[in-house]
């Protein structure tokens, strides 16, 4: 019986931890920022695919998230490019750092 209680308590702690992670927000969705007076939109789908849009131009990418780490891959002009970094979500703000460059985006309304 003691073993069952320990396993149950461990499962409960794990479930609560996962709930806290889920409450901190998901990168999935649409995020926007201003760059040189123009709006840039990042969209992260729930299928690991996304896009960056600015001024009628859209670049597709694939991404993987592991904790607070993100890897984004895209192909342009027949060449594959990868970017690795971290992200943090605080409310409606996404701070994304890729290859030592940091941008701050706001969740689209």
pLDDT tens, per residue, the chain with 109 residues: 433 333 333 333 333 333 333 334 799 999 999 988 999 999 999 999 999 999 999 999 999 999 999 999 998 888 999 999 999 999 999 999 998 899 999 999 8
**CATH code given to domain 26-107:** 2.40.128.280
Q: What's the token pair of residue 107?
A: 């969740």
User: 53 — alpha (psi -120 to 50), left (phi > 0) or beta?
Assistant: beta
Query: According to the model, what pLDDT value does residue 35 have?
Result: 85
Q: What pLDDT does residue 1 have? A: 40
pTM above 0.85, yes or no: no
d(C-alpha 76, C-alpha 30), whole Å = 22
In 1-109, alpha helices (H): 2-23
Domain-wise residue ranges, the chain = 26-107
């Amino acid at each position: 019986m003691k073993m069952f209680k320990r396993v149950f308590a461990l499962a409960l702690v794990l479930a609560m931890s996962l709930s806290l992670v889920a409450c901190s927000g998901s990168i999935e969705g649409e995020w926007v920022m201003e760059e040189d007076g123009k709006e840039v939109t990042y969209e992260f789908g729930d299928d690991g695919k996304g896009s960056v849009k600015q001024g009628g131009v859209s670049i597709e990418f694939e991404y993987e998230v592991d904790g607070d780490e993100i890897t984004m891959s895209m192909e342009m002009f027949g060449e594959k490019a990868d970017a690795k970094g971290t992200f943090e979500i605080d409310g409606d703000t996404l701070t994304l750092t890729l290859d030592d460059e940091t941008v701050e985006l706001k969740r689209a309304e």
